[in-house]
Amino acid sequence: MYGKGQGLPQDYAEAVAWYRKAADQGVAQAQNNLGLMYANGLGAAQDYAQAASWYRKAADQGDAGAQNNLGSMFGRGEGVSRDCTGAVTWYRKAADQGNSAAQNNLGAMLASGLLCGE
């Protein structure tokens, strides 16, 4: 609610604090949201390694959004070493769950011959 300013004033730092409480308890959606906050520098300093770490925790629990986000991190080499195979692996997991963004990302990678946009 703080992140979007729904019913409360928008406060990214407060959103990060609440996401962290839930993320530390293993809530996959909160882990993904915390990753987004770090990736975008909202309420916390931009930190791609932290973003990738939180995405991975959620992705390992099967969160399709986090799997797509982690695939993007691998594809761009943000917070992790650039790894096209890793990107495809995570995109495919999310795509198989019907995540349309991951389906698009996977298709783009396969069409480009797994070149990670090079």
pLDDT in tens, 13-71: 999 999 999 999 999 999 999 999 999 999 999 999 999 999 999 999 999 999 999 99
CB 34 within 8 A of CB 26: no
Residue entry with tokens 């999310």: 94
pLDDT, position 113: 73
pLDDT digits (tens, 9 = 90+) for 88-113: 999 999 999 999 999 999 999 888 77
User: Which amino acid appears at position 107 of this protein?
Assistant: G
Q: How confident is the model at residue 3 (pLDDT cuts 50, 70, 90)?
A: low
| Structural domains in the chain plus CATH codes | 12-111 (1.25.40.10)
Q: What are the CA-CA distances from residue 36 to residues 3, 47, 107 (Å)?
A: 11, 10, 23
What b/e sequence results for 37-58 when a residue is b if at least 16 CB atoms lie within 10 Å of its CB, and e otherwise? bbbeeebbeebbebbbbbbbbb
